[in-house]
Chain A
Amino acid sequence: MRDRLLLIGYAAAVIAATSVHDPRWLAAGLVLALLAAGRDAPRLLRRTLLAMLAFSAVVSVGYVVAGLLAGNLNPEYLIRINIRVCLLTFLTSLLVARVDFLRALNFWPAASYLATLILSQVVTFRRLFDELRQAADSRRLRRLPLREGYAQSAGAVVHLFDKAERTAGEIALAMRSRGFFAPAGPDARRH
């Protein structure tokens, strides 16, 4: 029930943040969200700024350049869009900190299992990919030519799929042994 209420509150806040266009109201919403985050506010704000920095900076700089060239630069737009993006991203960070995403998917068991499997595999794949990159870096003194770089990347992807195929089989066996799939016939029932 608590997770459901938080989700409803989050949805309402997101709709409000995209329906209000006065920067003062958007700033007030951000202050409220910061207060709601309590002691987590500095950590979540740092995460928010890191997540939005690249895109907002590119759009803001592009807007300033285009505005200067056309002679119609509007500072209020820059303030409005950056506060809005910050508020929305902060609200998402706050939601993630307060709601168990996998528990929230309980209403759809197949999606819940799939999400669990994906998250576990993401951890495995990212670690393996980092190890492959570090191993390749440690074995060369200078940057690879483009063609060799592509060949190396392709080799890494093939290796990842090789592992993925094996892992998929192991997961299927593990899921079957835990009763995820219904028995197929009389033989299966005997086991």
Chain B
Amino acid sequence: MHVPDGFLSPQTYVPAYALAAGAWAYAARTLQRRLDETLLPRLAVLCALGFVLMSVMLPLPGGTSVHASGIGILAVVFGPWITFAAVSLVLLLQALVFGAGGITVLPVNALAMGLGGSAAACLGYRLLGRVDERAGLFAAGWLATVLPAVLVAGVLGVQPAIAHTADGQPLFFPFGLSVTLPAVVVPHLILGVGEGLLTILVVSFLRRR
């Protein structure tokens, strides 16, 4: 659900960068503490898979897109902070190499997808995984898809209210929450089912190895 460059106001992306900078610093320390011979290569190939899945995008009427992410899988295997670092790096590479997403929207995308999505995935997995492993994995994939969609829809939907001309015309993203929430979140409720199934399949496969 990348937000393209140019649709978020400085009032949004400047504070988002400040917030993300602190989170990136903490994630970098966590990554260096756990750096060993297996983590880096495993993280790289999982990021590459997420990158390939994220490259397939479908525009939505609300001005954004849907795609698979693999964030639930990364979060269950590596935890939220390393996933946040990896997803941030993938988003940066996507913006700079493929022109998907952008620099001004990077912190919002990273916080929503990388931190919000992975934290929700880990929480869902820990709560439901105690009862049933597969239910926990499904919840991880579903939440990693739906929560970022809600966050991104919220950020987009407040743009007309926080950045507009004197006569009320929008300066950045033009649609309010009444449009962005259904346009972005509803498709992701369905996409999350596919992501949940993919998470069950892939993590179960990885655990058998």
Instruction: Give the interface of A toward B (CB within 8 A).
Output: 10, 14-15, 17-19, 21, 47-48, 50-52, 54-59, 62-63, 66, 74, 76-77, 80-81, 84-85, 87-89, 92-93, 95-96, 101, 108, 110-111, 113-115, 117-119, 121-122, 124-126, 129, 150, 154, 157-158, 160-162, 164-165, 167-169, 171-172, 175-176, 181
Contact = CB atoms under 8 A, between A and B. Distances in A.
A118 B89 contact: yes
Interface string B67-110: 00000000000000000001001100101111110111000000
A95 B63 contact: no
Interface residues on B, range: 35 or more
Nearest to B57: A54
Contacts of A14: 103-104
Of A48, A55, A56, A66, chain B has the most CB atoms within 10 Å of the CB of A55
Contact of A92 (B8, B95, B175, B197): B95
Nearest to B198: A157
B41 A171 contact: yes
Query: Helix, strand, loop or mixed for chain A's interface?
Result: helix
28 contacts: A14-B104, A18-B8, A21-B165, A21-B171, A54-B59, A57-B59, A62-B61, A62-B175, A63-B175, A81-B172, A89-B99, A92-B99, A96-B97, A101-B97, A114-B40, A114-B89, A118-B48, A125-B48, A125-B52, A129-B52, A157-B202, A158-B202, A161-B205, A162-B205, A165-B206, A168-B45, A181-B36, A181-B37
